[in-house]
Amino acid sequence: MSQHGCEHDHVPVIGKAELVAQLLQLLPADCVLFEEEDLRPYECDGLSAYRQLPWVTVLPQSVGQVQAVMRLCHQHRLPVVARGAGTGLSGGALPHPNGVLLSLAKLKSILAIDTLARTARVQPGVRNLAISQAASQYGLYYAPDPSSQIACTIGGNVAENSGGVHCLKYGLTVHNILQIKLVTIEGDLLVVGSEALDSAGYDLLALMTGSEGMLGVIVEVTVRLLPVPEKAKVMLAAFDDVEKAGAAVGAIIAAGVIPGGLEMMDKLSIGAAEDFAHAGYPRDAEAILLCELDGTCEEVAEQVEQVQAILKDIGATEVRLARDEQERALLWKGRKSAFPAVGRLSPDYYCMDGTIPRRHLPFVLRRIGELSQQYGLAVANVFHAGDGNLHPLILYDANKPGELANAEEFGSKILELCVEVGGSITGEHGVGMEKINQMCVQYDSAELTQFHAIKHAFDPQGLLNPGKAVPTLHRCAEFGAMHVHDGKLPFPELERF
C-alpha cells in the first residue's frame, strides 16, 4: 500500500541522534521516545490498516515544552504530527517517517470549571467523557459525545470537529467550544476565540475546528457546558422496511420535534449489536430507530406521545419506550457498541463516514447493497439518521489476499456515492490519510488550491501533518477522479497520466 505513506518530500537536515539530544535538552528523559519498541504504540491510530513508525515521539508536559518542541522542529524543518488518544479513524495521526510525533497525552488537567458561566477550561489531552464527569456534580455536561468518548481527547475532538449521537439537537464540537489556545509551527501561542460569545476579526475558531492538526497544535480548550436535561426518554421503533424508517425520521422532524438523538441501524447491525449487548433489539426487523427525547419532564411527556403516534402512523411494527434509566442505558448500549459488535462478525471491518441529504437514504442504501454484492463483502449500516451521517461498516478479512484493497475500493465507491447525491465524504471522522483521494471527488482544483492557500497562511513550509487532509493537484490527477464539475474535466491544467 504505497499510497498510504505520507508524501516523503521532507529530507531531514539533522541526524536522529542529534535531534534526540536536542529534544532531551527541552524535555525530561521519559518524555522523549526514540527506540523502536517505545515507538511501536504510536505507529497507527484507530485506522490500523495504515502503519508507520515515527522518527521520534515526544510527550511534553507543559505548553512551554510544546512551544519549545515546535521551535526546534521549525528550525530543522521537521514534520510534526500531533496526536491525542489515537482513536481517529482516518489516519490523521499516522506518523511521518522523518518527523516528530507530538503526543498531547500528558497535558490532561481540567484547569477550571466555572459553574455560573457554564464553561470548562481544559488541557488538550483531557478525555471527552472526563469533562462531563467532572461537570456532573454541578448538573452540567459537555454535549458532543462521540462513541469513543471514554478514550478520545478534547484536542482530537477539536481537530476533527467530532460529533456524536446528540449532534442534531446540540451541535458538533464547533458549536460547543468558546476558545482555544494554539501553538503555531513557529512556536508562538495564539488565543483564538474568547470566553465571550464572539471575538473581533475573522472566525478563526471555526477555521481551526476540524483542521486535523494541519494549522497548529491545540494546547488548551474552553468548552461550553449545558445543563443536564431534567428528563430523557428513549424509544425503539422497529420497521419491516428501511424506507419506512427513513420516512419516520422526516416525519418526526416535520412535526417540529428535534430529538436529542435519532439513530438508525439495519438488520446486520441489529443482529450484531443484540449478540453483543443483549439490549432486546428485534432481530427480525429490517431497521430500527432509536429516538431519544430530552428536556423538561412536561416537554418529554408531551413529545413521547407525539412521536409514538407518528411512528405507528408510518407503520412501525413495534414501538417500545424504555421504562426506566436502566432500560434506556441498555438500548443505547446496543447502539454505542455497534462498531465492536459488528467487529465480532468478521476478522476486520472498515468504518465509512459519509453524509447525505436524508431524502436520498433509500437510494443510497440500495446502491450500497448492490456494491456489497459486486465486491462480495457484507456491509452493516449504522446511521446518525437525524443528521444524515451514514456509517457503513464493511466486513473483510485482512489475511485474505486482496481483501483489504477490495474493501477500500468498495469504501471509496460509497463515498463517491455520497458526493453524487449532494453529501460529503466525511461527516465526523475527517479526511486524514484515508480519504485524501476522495477529496479530489468532492472538490475541484480551485477549491483545493484555496485550501492549500489557507494551509500556507499558517504553515508556509508544510511541516504540520504533511500529506494529510488536502491532496495535491498532482495527486488528484494521478488518482484520475472523473469529477466532472459543470461539464468540465477535472484539473484541466494538468496533463493526464
Residues in the site for ligand FAD, rule: CB under 6 A? 45-46, 81-89, 92-93, 104, 124, 146-148, 152-153, 155-157, 159-160, 162-164, 212-213, 217-218, 339, 428-429, 432, 465
152 binds, among other proteins, ligand FAD, none (CB under 5 to 8 A by kind): ligand FAD
- Name, in order, each residue with C-beta under 8 angstroms of 496's C-beta and a sequence gap of 6 or more: 477, 480
Amino acid at 43: E
By CB atoms closer than 10 A (0-12, 13-18, 19+), residue 254 is: exposed
- At residue 308, the 3 state secondary structure works out as helix
Q: Distance (Å, rounded) from C-alpha 41 to C-alpha 304?
A: 47
**Smallest distance from other proteins to CB 262, Å:** 11
**Which lies closer to ligand FAD via its Cβ, residue 49 or residue 301?**
49
Q: Distance (Å, rounded) from C-alpha 10 to C-alpha 144?
A: 36
**Smallest distance from other proteins to CB 145, Å:** 14
- Name, in order, each residue with C-beta under 8 angstroms of 449's C-beta and a sequence gap of 6 or more: 473
Q: Distance (Å, rounded) from C-alpha 145 to C-alpha 166?
A: 7
**Which lies closer to ligand FAD via its Cβ, residue 162 or residue 442?**
162
Q: In angstroms, what CA-CA distances link 421 with 83, 357, 361, 408, 445?
A: 33, 7, 10, 20, 20
Report which DSSP code applies to 287.
Answer: E
**Which lies closer to other proteins via its Cβ, residue 117 or residue 482?**
117
Q: Is 42 left (phi over 0), alpha (psi -120 to 50) or beta?
A: alpha
148 binds, among ligand FAD, other proteins, none (CB under 5 to 8 A by kind): ligand FAD
437 binds, among ligand FAD, other proteins, none (CB under 5 to 8 A by kind): none
**Which lies closer to ligand FAD via its Cβ, residue 212 or residue 408?**
212
For 201-223, give one letter per residue: b (16+ CB within 10 A) or e. Answer: eeebbeebbbbbbbbbbbbbbbb
Q: Is 491 left (phi over 0), alpha (psi -120 to 50) or beta?
A: left
**Smallest distance from ligand FAD to CB 195, Å:** 20
271 binds, among ligand FAD, other proteins, none (CB under 5 to 8 A by kind): none
**Which lies closer to other proteins via its Cβ, residue 3 or residue 194?**
194
**Smallest distance from ligand FAD to CB 11, Å:** 22
| Residues 350/371, Cβ–Cβ less than 8 Å | no
**Smallest distance from other proteins to CB 98, Å:** 25
Can you name the residues that pair with 380 across neighbouring β-strands? 393
**Smallest distance from other proteins to CB 189, Å:** 8
Q: In angstroms, what CA-CA distances link 46 with 129, 151, 330?
A: 18, 11, 25
**Smallest distance from ligand FAD to CB 294, Å:** 18
381 binds, among ligand FAD, other proteins, none (CB under 5 to 8 A by kind): none
286 binds, among ligand FAD, other proteins, none (CB under 5 to 8 A by kind): none
**Which lies closer to ligand FAD via its Cβ, residue 84 or residue 295?**
84
Taking every pair of Cα atoms in the chain, the longest distance, rounded to a whole number of angstroms, is 71
**Which lies closer to other proteins via its Cβ, residue 258 or residue 473?**
258
26 binds, among ligand FAD, other proteins, none (CB under 5 to 8 A by kind): none
| Residues 460/496, Cβ–Cβ less than 8 Å | no
**Smallest distance from ligand FAD to CB 272, Å:** 14
Q: Distance (Å, rounded) from C-alpha 436 to C-alpha 469?
A: 6
**Which lies closer to ligand FAD via its Cβ, residue 220 or residue 444?**
220
83 binds, among ligand FAD, other proteins, none (CB under 5 to 8 A by kind): ligand FAD
